[in-house]
């Protein structure tokens, strides 16, 4: 019997980290060093995630507006870098769906990534797929979590947020949401399963799933 509504982040929870080679390819296309590209990428990302346009985002990174072909290629490579999924998390999600645990998504994602994720078969079973670009709010803004709770029709105490960023977990906890800082380990996957289920189950990640406040690193 499910006891909680799980609210999963996408990046570095369902997906793995952007591969270094793909980040380097983006930096080369932008004609920037990898450190400088990464600095600009993440400094400007919140506005893009909150619903900004790809043109404005990449203009900020490049320092000048890209042509149509270059913009298309930058967006294409950026999307691809986020679509490497973690097979262990996918197995856990299969277990949770099979146990009829309500699972939803709350991700900081620009419109382009949000629409791509909506097309992914792996995310079709989610009860809700909520994206920062559609909400015009990004984590860790408390209003992002308030909007998510309203969409779920749940109480904060019935929701468990699974996110790789402690700052997001802290902001959610201030509203009464239980948080699990995600790390890609069998123990953490088991803790997530245990937080969602009343009875102990064995996840296909390999460890007994028991209720736990967080994931060991």
pLDDT at 197 over 90: no
Strands 201-202 vs 208-209: parallel, antiparallel or unpaired: antiparallel
User: How many whole angstroms separate alpha carbon 2 and alpha carbon 95?
Assistant: 12
Dihedral sign of CA atoms 112, 115, 119, 122 in order: positive
As a residue count, the chain comes to 217
155 preceded by a cis bond (ω within 30 of 0): no
The CATH 3.40.50.1000 portion of the chain extends over 5-16+85-209
Q: Give the CATH H-level superfamily of domain 5-16+85-209.
A: HAD superfamily/HAD-like (3.40.50.1000)
Tell me which of 196 and 138 has the higher pLDDT.
138
Query: In angstroms, rounded to a whole number, what is the distance separating the alpha carbons of residues 165 and 173?
Result: 13
**Tens digit of each residue's pLDDT (9 = 90 or more) over 125-171:** 999 999 999 999 999 999 999 999 999 999 999 999 999 999 999 99
Tell me the pLDDT band of 208, cut-offs 50, 70 and 90: very low
Supply φ then ψ for residue 100, to 5 degrees.
65, 30
- Token reading at 177: 């949401």
Q: Check pLDDT > 70 for residue 202.
A: no
Instruction: Give mean pLDDT, residues 170-181.
Output: 96
The pTM is what? 0.89
54-62 vs 34-49: helix crossing angle, rounded to 10: 150
Bridge-based pairing of strands 159-163 and 201-202 is: unpaired
């Amino acid at each position: 019997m499910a006891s909680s509504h799980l609210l999963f982040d996408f990046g570095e929870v369902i997906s793995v980290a952007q591969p270094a080679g793909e980040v380097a390819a983006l930096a080369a296309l932008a004609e920037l060093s990898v450190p400088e590209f990464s600095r600009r990428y993440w400094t400007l990302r919140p506005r893009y995630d909150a619903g900004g346009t790809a043109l404005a985002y990449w203009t900020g990174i490049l320092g000048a507006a890209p042509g149509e072909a270059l913009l298309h290629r930058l967006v294409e490579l950026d999307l691809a870098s986020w679509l490497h999924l973690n097979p262990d998390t996918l197995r856990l999600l299969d277990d949770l769906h099979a146990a009829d645990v309500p699972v939803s998504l709350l991700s900081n994602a620009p419109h382009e990534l949000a629409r791509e994720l909506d097309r992914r078969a792996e995310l079709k079973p989610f009860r809700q797929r909520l994206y920062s670009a559609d909400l015009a709010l990004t984590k860790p803004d408390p209003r992002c979590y308030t909007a998510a709770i309203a969409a779920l029709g749940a109480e904060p105490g019935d929701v468990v947020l699974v996110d790789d960023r402690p700052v997001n977990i802290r902001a959610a906890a201030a509203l009464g949401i239980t948080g699990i800082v995600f790390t890609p380990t069998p123990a953490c996957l088991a803790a997530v399963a245990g937080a969602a289920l009343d009875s102990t189950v064995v996840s296909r990640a390999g460890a007994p799933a028991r209720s736990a406040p967080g994931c060991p690193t």
